[in-house]
């Protein structure tokens, strides 16, 4: 099964977060803005335009990613597959997927010219990127077509000044994604990475939300955040900056099973703070089987805190062996090995600013 099909299947089975409907909804209502020089006839509506023969209508939507922010589930309709008019569009979609950016394929048509109440010319950009509120027209190198597209894009900008639209080549797209924080690395520069699962902007937004939620829940208290080294480094550093209460922090390191481990989890670096009577928030990068967390929680309870809760950036729930109570979850992710934003594969890739899926063939 190819990875795309696999992901769509996973997405359909998963509960939908409140933010995600943005992916499948058409962009904001389309009110054609009157041209500066009034047309001979009033502008047609987008629906009338859709019936014009200028270009075959394909209202397809970008696939959804299986990552969900930990929010209440809603019903989810099945999605149709996407048929691209041109191979370069399919490649663009793969790049957008690689960078974890949501997209819709040809969701809107812009009327450009009217005669006797009929639309005589219209333009349908290839992609809409809801995260960036940006329409993209993909171009290959053939200059004749590019100049016609350029003319149409200029017209769209003139007639619909509120619309953000760009004509792009592949190279320009990679540069644009870097600018918006969906990089910074081109796919070929991260050879072990299959695709980006959670982009930098999504990580940052979610970490900020968790920080606000924790600040509200612990109002009037002075919690101590306990992080487990080393994977938690990036998450914890960002999270504490979104907590608007007096907080203290401490760090622990524990051994993980490496194939030959005799006995159980060992504490490699102990706490420096006294947790007795404190409100403790244990911060984790990822909860997988739950074994590490289970062991660490036992240890922390033995320190007699007033309260003890868990905050994890990632939850690989499908692999859980020991049930643990998690108060705050950043993202539920599928059963994939992920790296970046503190998480490693053989100590590498902790410095990636996003969460990426490691290529399957690298895993034992
Ligand atoms: P657990 O004890 O199975 O829940 O494992 C938790 C620990 O395993 C995490 O704190 C990570 O250090 C590591 N881990 C689990 N899954 C991943 C992954 O996908 N990427 C990197 N490290 C992981
Ligand atoms: Mg860890």
Question: Three-class SS string for 168-200?
Answer: ECHHHHHHHHHHCCCCCCCHHHCCCEEEEEECH
Least confident of 14-28, 146-160, 293-307, 335-349: 14-28
Contact 100, 195 (CB under 8 A): yes
**Cis bond before residue 269 (omega within 30° of 0):** no
For residue 289, which atom of ligand 1 is closest to its CA? 3
CA pair distance 11, 334, nearest whole angstrom: 10
pLDDT at position 206 over 70: yes
Q: Per-residue pLDDT averaged across 319-330, rounded? A: 94
Least confident of 100-114, 197-211, 247-261, 303-317: 247-261
Contact 170, 95 (CB under 8 A): yes
Crossing angle of helices 170-179 and 87-98, in 10° steps, is 20
Q: Per-residue pLDDT averaged across 283-292, rounded? A: 93
Least confident of 11-25, 77-91, 263-277: 11-25
- pLDDT for 3 equals 37
Question: Which comes out higher in pLDDT, residue 95 or 21?
Answer: 95
- pLDDT for 263 equals 60
* Tokens describing residue 231: 């994977």
**Cis bond before residue 184 (omega within 30° of 0):** yes
Mutate to test the pocket of ligand 1, among 343, 355, 357, 360 (most ligand atoms within 8 A of CB): 343
pLDDT at position 107 over 80: yes
For residue 290, which atom of ligand 1 is closest to its CA? 4
- pLDDT for 332 equals 97
pLDDT at position 161 over 90: yes
CA pair distance 210, 240, nearest whole angstrom: 10
Q: How far is the CA of 138 from the centre of ligand 1 (A)?
A: 39
Going by C-beta distance under 8 Å and a sequence separation of 6 or more, which residues neighbour residue 169? Answer: 139, 140, 141
Question: Which comes out higher in pLDDT, residue 54 or 131?
Answer: 131
- What is the per-residue pLDDT across 3-13, written as a single tens digit (0 to 9) for each? 333 332 233 33
Q: How far is the CA of 198 from the centre of ligand 1 (A)?
A: 17
Question: Which comes out higher in pLDDT, residue 240 or 46?
Answer: 240
pLDDT at position 228 over 90: yes
Instruction: Round the average pLDDT of the chain to a whole number and report it.
Output: 77
pLDDT band per the 50, 70, 90 thresholds, residue 355: very high
- What is the per-residue pLDDT across 44-92, written as a single tens digit (0 to 9) for each? 333 333 333 333 333 344 444 456 666 533 333 323 478 888 877 887 8
pLDDT band per the 50, 70, 90 thresholds, residue 23: very low
Which residues are catalytic, by number? 288
- pLDDT for 179 equals 64
Question: Which comes out higher in pLDDT, residue 329 or 131?
Answer: 329
CA pair distance 102, 334, nearest whole angstrom: 18
Mutate to test the pocket of ligand 1, among 192, 231, 255, 288 (most ligand atoms within 8 A of CB): 288
- pLDDT for 8 equals 29
- Count Cα neighbours of 9 within 13 Å in the Cβ-side half-sphere: 6
Q: Per-residue pLDDT averaged across 101-112, rounded? A: 92
- pLDDT for 87 equals 77
pLDDT at position 32 over 60: no
pLDDT band per the 50, 70, 90 thresholds, residue 101: confident
Q: How far is the CA of 165 from the centre of ligand 1 (A)?
A: 41
Q: Which residues are near ligand 2, the ion (C-beta closer than 5 Å)?
A: 231, 285
Collapsing DSSP to helix, strand or coil, 319 comes out as helix
Q: How far is the CA of 239 from the centre of ligand 1 (A)?
A: 19
Q: Ligand 1: residues within 6 Å at CB?
A: 231, 256, 284-293, 337-339, 343
As a 3-state breakdown, the chain gives helix, strand, coil percent values, each rounded to 5, of 30, 25, 50
Question: Which comes out higher in pLDDT, residue 34 or 241?
Answer: 241
Contact 180, 335 (CB under 8 A): no
Planar angle of CA 165, 168, 169, nearest 5 degrees? 170
């Amino acid at each position: 099964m190819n990875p795309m099909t696999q992901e769509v299947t996973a997405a359909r089975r998963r509960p939908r977060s409140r933010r995600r409907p943005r992916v499948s909804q058409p962009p904001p209502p389309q009110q054609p803005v009157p041209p500066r020089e009034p047309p001979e006839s009033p502008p047609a509506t987008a629906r009338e335009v859709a019936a014009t023969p200028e270009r075959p209508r394909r209202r397809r939507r970008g696939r959804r990613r299986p990552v969900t922010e930990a929010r209440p589930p809603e019903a989810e309709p099945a999605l149709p597959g996407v048929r691209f008019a041109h191979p370069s569009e399919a490649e663009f979609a793969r790049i957008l997927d690689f960078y974890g950016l949501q997209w819709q394929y040809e969701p809107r048509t812009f009327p450009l010219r009217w005669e006797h109440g009929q639309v005589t010319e219209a333009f349908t950009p290839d992609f809409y990127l809801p995260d960036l509120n940006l329409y993209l027209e993909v171009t290959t190198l053939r200059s004749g077509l590019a100049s016609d597209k350029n003319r149409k894009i200029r017209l769209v900008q003139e007639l619909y000044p509120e619309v953000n639209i760009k004509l792009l080549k592949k190279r320009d797209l990679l540069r644009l994604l870097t600018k918006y924080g969906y990089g910074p690395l081109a796919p070929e520069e991260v050879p072990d990475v299959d695709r980006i699962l959670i982009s930098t902007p999504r990580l940052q937004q979610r970490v900020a939300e968790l920080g606000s939620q924790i600040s509200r829940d612990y109002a009037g208290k002075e919690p101590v955040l306990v992080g487990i080294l080393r994977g938690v480094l990036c998450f914890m550093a960002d999270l504490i900056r979104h907590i608007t209460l007096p907080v203290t922090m401490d760090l622990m390191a524990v051994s993980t099973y490496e194939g030959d481990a005799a006995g159980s989890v060992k504490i490699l670096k102990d706490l420096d703070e006294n947790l007795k009577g404190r409100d403790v928030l244990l911060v984790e990068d990822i909860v997988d089987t739950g074994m590490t967390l289970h062991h660490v929680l036992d240890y922390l309870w033995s320190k007699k805190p007033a309260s003890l809760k868990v905050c994890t950036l990632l939850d690989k729930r499908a692999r859980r062996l020991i049930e643990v109570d998690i108060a705050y979850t950043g993202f539920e992710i599928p059963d994939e090995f992920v790296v970046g934003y503190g998480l490693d594969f053989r100590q590498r890739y902790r410095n990636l600013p996003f969460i990426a899926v490691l290529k399957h063939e690298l895993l034992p």
